Amino acid sequence: MLKVTVLVSGGGTNLQAILDAMDRREIQNAEISAVISNNPNAYALERARLKGIPALCISPKAYKTREEFHKALLKALKDSGADLVVLAGCLVVIPESIIREYKGRMINIHPSLIPSFCGTGYYGLKVHEEALKRGVKVTGATVHFVDEGTDTGPILLQKAVEVRKGDTPEVLQRRVMEEAEWVLLPKAIDMIARKEQ
């Protein structure tokens, strides 16, 4: 059984997509062992608690130095027994020490077709604002392995989403979530879990 630890910063809609896919048995041979957030008010923590999943807040604000925070985060990941770490809307920069520890065992979902609209500063609505500004006709989402760069790791899955006339960043963000992110992330976890069997 693949133990998955999910890192989140906000509402946890991608976490919910994973939980729903597990309920529908679309993800086999995997379980969520913990949900960790840097934000004590993240609704994702409540989603985890409602499912009886350990939910932890490890906030950088609770530590004197960034290094102490990184050590606490790594300890929590190890304590959770994580075989796979999933960044599902995690707005914390993961340090190289943790990336090295989970090399090839950490994935991220990004709301664009990498290499477009990715890298430092491209997160949340900013990605969709930039896509609309550039006038692209197609956007989407990408699941990739995490490496030391920002959105530079090997690509696992991508799904294209049409950009429609009159789209606002908010409308486009919602469509990318529904049509791509919530489909790709559970699929990626299932693919990795099946390889582990």
Q: Is the bond into 115 cis (omega within 30 degrees of 0)? A: yes
Residue 196, pLDDT score = 66
Query: What is the CATH classification number for the domain harbouring 53?
Result: 3.40.50.170
Please tell me whether residue 83 adopts helix, strand or coil conformation. Answer: coil
What is the C-alpha to C-alpha distance for residues 24 and 77, in angstroms, rounded to an integer?
26
Element (H, E) at 193: helix 182-196
Q: Would you place residue 92 in the very low, low, confident or very high pLDDT band (cuts 50, 70, 90)?
A: confident
Residue 91, pLDDT score = 86
- Does pLDDT of 197 surpass 80? no
Please tell me whether residue 30 adopts helix, strand or coil conformation. Answer: strand
Active-site positions? 110
Element (H, E) at 144: strand 138-145
For 50, counting Cβ atoms within 10 Å of its Cβ (0-12 exposed, 13-18 middle, 19+ buried), the class is exposed
What is the C-alpha to C-alpha distance for residues 65 and 191, in angstroms, rounded to an integer?
37
Q: Give, in order, the Cα–Cα distances in Å from 12 to each of 9, 178, 185, 186.
A: 8, 13, 13, 14
- Which of 36, 38, 18, 52 minimizes the C-alpha distance to 190? 18
Reported pTM: 0.94
Domain that holds residue 53: 2-196
How does the average pLDDT of the chain come out, rounded? 95
What is the C-alpha to C-alpha distance for residues 78 and 70, in angstroms, rounded to an integer?
12
The per-residue pLDDT for range 93-121, each reduced to its tens digit, is 899 999 999 999 999 999 999 999 999 88
Single-letter residue type at 91: L
C-alpha 69: how far from its chain's center?
20
Residue 195, pLDDT score = 86
What is the C-alpha to C-alpha distance for residues 189 and 164, in angstroms, rounded to an integer?
30
The total number of structural domains in the chain stands at 1
